[in-house]
Amino acid sequence: MSDPQAPADPAGSDAGGFRAPTIFVRHARDATPFGPRPDPGRRRLLGLGLLAGGCALSRVGVATAAVLQPTPALTAGPFYPRTHLPEVDADLGQLDGHARRALGEPFVLDLLVLDARGRPLPAVAVELWQANAGGRYAHPSDTDASGPLDPDFQGYARLVTDAEGRLRVRSVLPGAYGDGGFRRTPHLHLIFRGTGTQLTTQMFFPDQPLNAGDFIYRRLSPAAQRAATARALPAGDGVRGFGWDVVLPG
């Protein structure tokens, strides 16, 4: 199996890491407007005034503006599809005209694409590709030594987020692959292209025993690992579900 770090990122954004979020916090200044000691006859009135002022300050509180943890930029790897694919819809586990679905454990992924302020991003173009359940990509550089191709597996999708920044993908869990000094944990490859922003990344599945040893996953900080890992959702109709919020740069 070829080293998955070898080729250049087709999207031109192979950062191989992540940018830490910038947190801006602005605190209200403590105000203690004590004047000269009042005479005894005016203490009660002054106390009521300070109480009212304190209530006003408490309503102001602390103003905080936070930037969300960005989804880390990661390499596209060597198996970005080279040939035109006749079918690129959101169900990678079913090809038109095929009676059988792709081999492997099916899952549903709900994606939400956001900007750094947490606002949903509509009309973002999304490319997704993955290995089949046996860990084999439909790519000329991935040879039979990796295992057989699945003639019923689409393996690639080209999609667009809806008005709420969402899209749903159906597929089968990709197999782990590799030998010798490395073994890749199950993952998806994705490219997001929005207005004035672009991200190439990988998505990891929760509770995978190979995550900790994956040479790409383990180089991420704990915060970036969380940002790159989907969360498990309740299964529907016996199918595993995952959710993943993607935060685009810019």
Position 85 scores a pLDDT of 83
- Token pair 């393996």 is found at 155
Cα within 13 Å of Cα(126), Cβ side: 28
Catalytic residues: 137, 177, 183, 187, 189
| pTM of structure | 0.74
Instruction: State yes or no: pLDDT of 13 exceeds 60.
Output: no
Nearest 10 degrees: Cα torsion 250, 160, 120, 111: -100
3-state secondary structure 176-214: CECCCCCCECCEEEEEEEECCEEEEEEEECCCCCCCCCC
Q: Angle at Cα 83 formed by Cα 201 and Cα 182, nearest 5°?
A: 45
Name the region of 202 (left: φ>0; alpha: ψ -120 to 50; beta: rest): beta
> In Å, how far from its chain's centre is CA 119?
15
In terms of Cβ atoms closer than 10 Å to its own Cβ (0-12, 13-18, 19+), residue 162 is: middle
**Please, which residues have CB within 8 angstroms of residue 216's CB and are 6 or more apart in sequence?**
74, 75, 184, 202
3-state secondary structure of 218: helix
Instruction: State yes or no: pLDDT of 98 exceeds 60.
Output: yes
CB 229 within 8 A of CB 243: no
Q: Angle at Cα 6 formed by Cα 212 and Cα 74, nearest 5°?
A: 50
**Among residues of the chain, what percentage have pLDDT more than 90?**
64
**Please, which residues have CB within 8 angstroms of residue 204's CB and are 6 or more apart in sequence?**
185, 186, 187, 211, 214, 217, 225, 228, 229, 230
Domains, the chain: 28-61 (no CATH), 106-247 (2.60.130.10)
Give phi and psi for 18, each to the nearest 5.
-155, 160
Q: Per mean pLDDT, which range of 55-69, 74-88, 116-130, 141-155 is the poorest? A: 55-69
Q: Which residue has the higher pLDDT, 75 or 50?
A: 75
Encoded tokens for 203: 């998505």
Please compute the mean of the pLDDT values over residues 41-62 and round it to a whole number: 38
Q: Please report which confidence band the pLDDT of residue 65 belongs to, taking 50, 70 and 90 as the band edges.
A: low
DSSP state of 57: H
Per-residue pLDDT tens for 136-182?
999 999 988 888 999 999 999 999 999 999 999 999 999 999 886 78
